[in-house]
Amino acid sequence: MAMNPETLLGSLPIRIEQNWQERDSILYALGVGSEDLDFVYEKGLKALPTIAVVLGYPGFIWQNPEWNVDWKKVLHGEQSVIIHKPFPAKGQFIGETRITKLIDKGAEKGAIAMVERRIVGDDGTHYADVIATIFLRGDGGFGGSPDGAPVPHKVPIERAPDLTVDMPTAKNCAMIYRLSGDLNPLHIDPDVAQAGGFERPILHGLATYGVVGRALLSALADNDPSRVRQMDVRFSRPVEPGETIRTDIWVESDGKAAFQSTSIERNVTVLSNGYFEFTA
C-alpha cells in the first residue's frame, strides 16, 4: 500500500511533555562522551546545546499505520538545531513535532520529509527549533513536487582548515546514549545490526552530532553553551563506537563556521556540509 501524503501532512502536531532533570542532562552528556565537570557534575551544571535533539523527542514516528510509510527504508539525512535561548539543566519542556513538507524525488529515488519540532518551556519560553530531513527511500512517486529540498552548506575543503579537533568515542557510548531516548536495537543488538548490513552495532547519528557539537563548542565558543546559535549537518556514514572523530573547522566570518567530520580509523567522512553559528 502506498504512502498517504495527505494524512501525513494533515496530522496534528505530536506533543510531548517532558520533566527534564539534572540527571537527564548528565546522562546525555556522558552519552556524547563529555568528561567536562560543567556538563556532568550537578554543582553549577550546564546543559549541552545539542540536548535539543532529545528534548520532546516523539520517538520513531514512521510506524504510524495511518501513514503507510515503508518505515524499514527510512534514513535520517540532515539535522539542524536553532537555539533561541540556552537550555537550563532541568525544567519542564514541551516538544511539538509536525511534518511540514514532502518532496517527491520519484518512484526509484524515494521521498524527503521535512520534520520540525518546536521546544518551549512550560512558561512559554521558546528555547529551540529542531529540523530534520528524513529520506523515505521506499515512498517516492506519490505525485508530489520534486522541489524544495534544503541546500546543504558548502564546506571550503579546497583550503586547509583553520582548526582541527579530535574527539574519541568510548566502545560503550551507544549503550549509554540510547538511555536518552533512542532505543533503536540497531545500536546495541549485533543480530539487528548484521541484518541491517553492518558488522556490529553502530553509533546513533545524533550521538555523533553531539560529539561533534562538543568539539565545536570547545573550539569556537570556549565551552559556553550560551554562545551557540545553530548547528546543521548532513549524515554521510555511521560511526562505530570506539572510533575517534576528527572535525575540521573553517572559520568563514565572525560567528560563522563550516565543518566536516571523519572517522580517523576508517578515513571516511561521517558528517558533511556542516554549519555552525555562534556569538563571537
Q: Over the stretch 151-207, which tens digit does the pLDDT of each residue have?
A: 999 999 999 999 999 999 999 999 999 999 888 888 999 998 888 788 999 999 999
Does residue 111 register a pLDDT over 70? yes
Using only the alpha carbons of the chain, give its radius of gyration: 18
Residues 60 and 116 in one domain: yes
The answer to the question of residue 157 being in a domain is no
Distance CA 241, CA 188 (A): 10
Does residue 214 register a pLDDT over 90? yes
Triad 240, 243, 247: Cα angle to 5°: 110
Distance CA 87, CA 83 (A): 9
Q: Is the Cβ–Cβ distance between 9 and 139 less than 8 Å?
A: no
Domain assignment of residue 272, given as a range? 163-278
The answer to the question of residue 153 being in a domain is no
Contacts of 131 (CB under 8 A, 6+ apart): 79, 80, 81, 82, 114, 115, 116, 117
For the chain, give the number of residues: 280
Residues 12 and 128 in one domain: yes
CATH of the domain at 184: 3.10.129.10
Residues 129 and 208 in one domain: no
What is the share, in percent, of the chain residues with pLDDT greater than 90?
87
Residues 232 and 125 in one domain: no
The confidence score (pLDDT) of residue 222 equals 97
pTM score: 0.94
The answer to the question of residue 60 being in a domain is yes
pLDDT digits (tens, 9 = 90+) for 47-105: 999 999 999 999 889 889 999 998 888 889 999 999 999 999 999 999 999 999 999 99
**Residues forming the active site:** 182, 187, 202, 205
Q: Is the Cβ–Cβ distance between 68 and 4 less than 8 Å?
A: yes
Residues 176 and 217 in one domain: yes
The answer to the question of residue 122 being in a domain is yes
